[in-house]
Every structure is written in C-alpha cells, then in structure tokens.
Amino acid sequence: MNSMSAFQPLKYLLFLIVVSIMISCSSEGDHDNMTPEVPLITRKITIDPSTVHQRIVGFGGCNTVFRGANNYPRRSDMQKAFGLGDNELGLSIFRVSVPVDSARWAAVAEVAGYAQEQGAIVFASPWDAPSYMLDPAHDEKRILPEFYDEYVDHLNAFDAYMSRNGVDLHAISMQNEPDIGEWTQWTVSEVEDFMINHAGRINNTVITAESFNFSMEYYTGLLQDSAALANFEIVGGHIYGNGLGPIPLAEEQNKEIWMTEYLLNLDADSGWSNIGETRKWAESIDMLETIHESMESNWNAYVWWYLKRYYSFIGEGEQGTAEGAILKRGYAYSHYSKYIRPDYHRIDVGGDGSNNLKVTAYEGDGRIVVVILNDRSISTTAEISVAGAGSIGSVESYITSLNKNREAGAATIEGAAVLQTIDPSSVTTVVIEL
C-alpha cells in the first residue's frame, strides 16, 4: 500500500506532461484540420416563367396619421423611401389619410406630391367622418345612413382637392378598419348598404372597407353581389392577428387584393431603444415572412404602416434612431420594394423537395427577380435555374442580415444555373438577366 501510494504523484505528473504535449501539438497545428468545415447543403430552386401568377401593383408605406401634419415625412425622406438609387428603398405605393378637417389637406397633398414625384401611386383611407354625420345614440362613431351620400361628397371633395394640387389619387377606400378602433365603425350590413347603394358615386377607384384582420364577413357578401361588384375594384384589408391567406372569391371576380396596413414593434413604444438588435432582426424576419405569404396568396400589393418611424424604414430621431436615417428594417423591406417593380408578375418556383427556404420569383423588364428568405440559423447554398433558359446572361445579388444592410452578394454563374450562398437568418434578392 505504501509503495503504491508513493507511485501516485509520479503517475499524475506523467499524465500532466502527456496532456501538455497534446495541447501544444494541437495549438501548433492547422486549426481547420481539427474542425473541418462542413460542406454547405445545396438547395435546388427552379424558376418557371411559363406559369404566371398575380400582377404586382407594388410595396408601400403610410404617412403619419395621428401625430399631426408637422410630423409628416420630408421631401428628403420621401426621396430615400421611393427613390431607386443605391441608398434608397424603391417603395412604389404611398397611403395617406383623409383628415376630417380640410385645413389639414394641404399638408397631406404636399407629402403625397413628394411620393408621386418619385413615380409612386397614392391612395387614401378615411379614419373618421365629419362629426355632424355621426349617430348620437351610439357610443361608437357610426354614420347615420341618411348621411351616406354626404359622406361620399366628403370623399369626393378630398379627391378633387388632391387633384387640384397635383396629386392624382389611384384609389380611395370607404373606411380604415370598420371593425375595431376609436375611429368610425361600420357593421357588415352597413358596409354592404353603402357599397351597393352609394359607393357608385365615388369619383375614383374604390377600395372596400379595410378590415382589421381581413374578416371575410366584410367581403363575402360584396363579392357575391353584382351591384356591389360594380362599385369597387380593390379588396383591401389588414393582417393583425389573422387574415393572411388566399381569397379565392376576389380572384374569381378579378378584384385586386391589397394588404393596406401592418406593423410590428415588439409592443415597445416606450422601450424600443433598450431591445437588442438580435430580437429586432428576428421580428423583421417575421415581417418578411408576411410579405412572402401575401405574395404566395396571390395578393397584388403590400403596404406597411408608417414609413418613417423608429420601428419602420426611416428613423425620426426617437428611440435611438437618427432623424432621416434608413433603418435595417427598411433595407430588409427593400428586397421586395426596390427590385420587384409595379407590373411585374409573380412566377412559379419549384425545388428538389428538400428546400427549407422561402422563395418567390417575379418577372418584368426582361429580368427575373428571386427573393429568398432564410429564417433558420444555418447557411446553405441556393442553386437557381430557370426552366427553358439555355444560359444565364448576368446576375447580381443583395443580402440583408443581422450584420448586413443590403450588401452585394457573391452570386456566380455556373453553366445554366446561379449559385448563391444564403446566410443564416437573412433575406437575399437575386436579379437574373437571361
């Protein structure tokens, strides 16, 4: 026992020497030989231009509604939002409010004019009706039916004012969110009455009432009534909590489908600047997924809430943002808005069955635009081919991730395919010229 006990320290010393030698050799060797790089899995993506889906009207944002005319975006903001330059976002739709007070119309026309200068289309949504039209018997704001025609006159007066001041409204809706909020509310039967018997007098293209979450009860009756169908061209709505998916009845009636408002801000109006960038980026990925799903649902337009706000596309100097600075969420949104232009068409996308990426593709102006959303924490490689194309003429790509703001990617052409590395948790746009 005593001899064995004496041997223990020597045995332990020899063990330490061996371990030290092993560590030394490892540190002097090639680290890559210790942890060889795992080859990226290649995801095959096949674009089929012969299968054409919906026409794209565009992607947009809204002016300030509740914060007063002095807080509307400036001309320089609108240049950044709607311009097509290197440091611009390429939005193509601008949503404005219809203030009850006509004294505020001039400010709306001014900022809308900035968007129109950049080639954007402008549409309008009313929040409130003039107070004298409201039913005093209701706690909610509800228009008395005998004032429906005067409500039409109110909308027409705004439309005419905008036209006189150089803004050609593309369309006007009958109501922002008739089913929730402190603004004017409408029941389903009231909406149907107005759309069937009064909306035909509106002097512009009409958008339906924009339900808070595309509640189909506000649309089904209209889409099945010939008199109502004659009085509107666009089915508009929002996707707060629900409502994101195909609307076959609208497609059958050849009505456009517009998502006219959505926002995400982590419920952090008082503490956005204290939230980490990783969490903010994860929420931006959520935003991008709703755009992807809207496009796959055959919707024609997607319009975010305020285009200038700390949780949106351009900072206004609050919650740690710099006044007038393009924000990461703006760069992310521009993967759709800047490269998928009005009158492009979504085309079909196929794959090899193992593709975990979210991919949509579009064709217009002689080019194909592929938007690839990777919501996973691993990299992969996309191999993109175009059915029927014998060769690829040129390609460029752009990437936004937690650490990149629409940076140029390294897409390469190999034969008749494009290879593009897809970063973890990222959005990538690939522009192909055949």
Residue 29 has pLDDT above 50, yes or no: no
Residue 11 has pLDDT above 80, yes or no: no
pLDDT for 324-375, tens place per residue? Answer: 999 999 999 999 999 999 999 999 998 765 568 999 999 999 999 999 999 9
Per domain, the residue ranges of the chain are 2-34, 42-50+345-433, 57-337
What confidence score (pLDDT) does residue 352 get? 62
Lowest model confidence (mean pLDDT) among 50-64, 264-278, 294-308, 404-418: 264-278
pLDDT of residue 365: 97
In this prediction, residue 70 carries a pLDDT of 78
pLDDT tens-digit map of 183-230: 999 999 999 999 999 999 999 999 999 999 999 999 999 999 999 999
State residue 34's pLDDT score: 31
Fold match between 42-50+345-433 and 57-337?
Answer: no
What was the pLDDT predicted at 292? 98
Q: What is the model's pLDDT at position 410? A: 94
Statement: residue 85 has pLDDT above 60: yes
Please check the confidence at residue 4 and state whether its pLDDT lies above 70. no
Q: Which of 360, 224, 233, 222 lies closest to 288 in space, CA to CA?
A: 360
Tell me how crowded residue 222 is: count the other CB atoms within 10 A of its CB. 25
Residue 305 has pLDDT above 80, yes or no: yes
Is residue 306 over pLDDT 50?
A: yes
CA distance 196 to 52: 33
Higher pLDDT, 370 or 16: 370
Residue 353: predicted pLDDT: 55
**323 or 5: which leads in pLDDT:** 323
pLDDT 10s digits, 61-82: 999 999 888 789 999 999 999 9
Angle, nearest 10°, between helix axes 328-337 and 277-296?
20
- Does position 26 have pLDDT exceeding 50, yes or no? no
136 vs 12: which has the higher pLDDT: 136
Whole-number Å distance between alpha carbons of 155 and 283: 36
pLDDT at 141: 97
Q: Distance (Å, rounded) from C-alpha 122 to C-alpha 353?
A: 41
Query: Which among 177, 192, 210, 256 is annotated as catalytic?
Result: 177
pLDDT digits (tens, 9 = 90+) for 128-155: 999 999 999 999 999 999 999 999 999 9
**Which top CATH class is 57-337?**
alpha beta
Distances (CA, A) of 418 to 84, 276, 391, 410: 25, 35, 10, 10
For the segment 268-272, the average pLDDT, to the nearest whole number, is: 78
What is the mean pLDDT of the segment spanning 406-420? 96
| pLDDT average, residue stretch 93-120 | 97
Q: Which of 49-53, 87-91, 126-130, 270-274 has the lowest mean pLDDT?
A: 270-274
Residue 16 φ then ψ, to 5°: -65, -35
Model confidence at 16: pLDDT above 50: no
261 is a catalytic site residue: yes
- Please report which helix (H) or strand (E) contains residue 125, including its range: strand 121-125
**DSSP string covering 291-311:** HHHHHHTT-SEEEEEESBSTT
The residue-averaged pLDDT of 226-235 equals 98
256 has pLDDT over 80: yes
Q: pTM of the entire structure?
A: 0.90
Range in 167-171, 326-330, 347-351, 402-406 the model is least confident about: 347-351
User: Max alpha carbon distance in the chain (Å)?
Assistant: 110
The residue from 88, 210, 256, 261 that is catalytic is: 261
The CATH architecture of the domain made up of 42-50+345-433 is Sandwich (2.60)
